[in-house]
Amino acid sequence: MMFSIKPHTVRSISLLIIILSTMVLAHGCSDEITPPVEKVPSELSGTLIHATGCKDIVYEFDAGAPTDLDCVTWDWDGSDKLRLVHVNAGLNCCPGTIVGLVSVDGSVITIEETEGDDAIMCHCLCLYDLTYEIAGISGGAITITFIEPYVPDGGEPLTVTVDLGTEPTGSHCVNRDTYPWSTGQIGEDPIGMIDNYSGCKHLTGTSESTLPFNPDSACVVLYNFPPDNLLRIYHINTAYNCCVYALDADFEFAEGLITITGIEHPPSGLCDCICLYDVNYSISNYEQGITTIRFVEPYLPQGGEQLEITVDLSLEGTWTFCVPREGYPWNEETSEEQDKAILKGMYDEIIDYIGTPYCSGDDDCRSIGIGAKPCGGPWMYLIYSASMVDEAHLQSLVAAHDSFEDYMNFKYEYSSDCSITPPPVLECHEGICRKAR
């Protein structure tokens, strides 16, 4: 049987074969063609980069938020890095090395905060500001959640969802009515706690206190706020071992008498020396009226005068009282060269803390006067970046430096001209703060 195929049919079949062949070849070679590039999310990582000490509002620490608020602030640089500050994080007064564990699951950032393995765990809590840096943030909506050890069961968690594309900077707070944010859990009985303390002043040359008391006396400064039933106590130049993990205290309350007994951990310390510290306390729910505050110091020299002060705690006010101390370490005599070395160590610590003043704009660039000219005013100004330091901590370091230099001016009868050094005009140049040119 014979078949005949018309020319136009041949053309149609040929065209169909070409189309089918092209489809088969295209399919068969698909593995050799570069596939579409999938968008891979950036690698995310987060680190705790700074923690303040236990915050102290009496010496005008920049609290950042009222102490009954628990807050987070965020600042995204628009490309990669997100800076978070947990304002008023509640932790133990003796936390050791503060730990902030950052985990990222998709668009959810979770930060769990705890005390370190080296914590002493004093019988008190207080507030800190903790700064984190998250790398690999490319924008969009994210959720930030903090897991805090002292928020009571049922308490509102600190969590916020924000679209960084529309709100690259901002803050979010929750109210806290429990201790340490508020006195809600303290109850009605009198209670005392350590708020903060300096390092060994002879070794480090630094002190958290900005009060310029000479090291030949032990002093107490009281700030009383009867409407709030709050008493702030500053014990200046008390002696403890040079090497301790933490300082603590026992508080005894009797009619007309408050006794504060200093304790160091570990007992007797770790070094064969003692030196001076400044310790800050607060007492709540105390009995208002004529009261003696007495300090029991572990290294009071035999026959030395005990430090105590009697005031009317029903009155709002400030009182200061000092007793001379003649035994080591209060009147430890240092040479001019030794004092200059201490001052230089304090200056070097400040320079190391400032580091390189990286900036993203002129608003980051600040200056701070440093030094105590005998005629008054600073010797010079240091340039720093507000985005790289805790300004309150920097101010406390500079205040301690200047107080010690002022003490040296008196001790060695230094003099100076009375010219005034003006603060510099600053700019952010190629990502680093400098004097404007």
Structure tokens at 353: 């803390």
Whole-number Å distance between alpha carbons of 312 and 318: 11
Please tell me whether residues 163 and 246 are part of one structural domain.
no
Residue 32 in any domain: the answer is no
What length does the chain have?
437
Tell me, what's the pLDDT at 293? 97
Strand order across the beta sheet in which 45-51 lies:
45-51, 125-135, 82-92, 69-76, 169-175
Tell me, what's the pLDDT at 187? 57
Instruction: Identify which of 173-182, 242-251, 284-293, 334-343 has the greatest average pLDDT.
Output: 284-293
Please tell me whether residues 320 and 344 are part of one structural domain.
no
Residue 116 burial (10 A CB sphere; 0-12, 13-18, 19+): exposed
Residue 210 in any domain: the answer is yes
Q: How confident is the model at residue 35 (pLDDT cuts 50, 70, 90)?
A: very low
Please tell me whether residues 268 and 340 are part of one structural domain.
no
- The parent domain of residue 72 ranges over 45-175
Please tell me whether residues 200 and 102 are part of one structural domain.
no
Judged by average pLDDT, the poorest of 24-28, 122-126, 388-392 is: 24-28
Residue 353: closest CA among 387, 379, 378, 390: 390
List, in order, residues 6 or more apart from 29 with CB less than 8 Å away: none
Residue 402 burial (10 A CB sphere; 0-12, 13-18, 19+): buried
Residue 167 in any domain: the answer is yes
Tell me, what's the pLDDT at 203? 53
Q: What is the pLDDT of residues 336-347, one digit of tens each?
A: 887 788 889 889
Please tell me whether residues 216 and 289 are part of one structural domain.
yes
Is 13's pLDDT higher than 70?
no
Whole-number Å distance between alpha carbons of 275 and 205: 11
Global pTM value: 0.47
Residue 4 in any domain: the answer is no
Number of domains in the chain: 3
Which residue in this structure is represented by tokens 């594309």? 165
Q: What is the mean pLDDT of the chain?
A: 81
Q: What is the pLDDT of residues 109-141, one digit of tens each?
A: 999 999 988 777 776 788 999 999 998 888 899
> What helix, strand, coil percent values describe the chain, rounded to 5?
15, 40, 45
Residue 5 in any domain: the answer is no
Judged by average pLDDT, the poorest of 42-46, 346-350, 387-391 is: 42-46
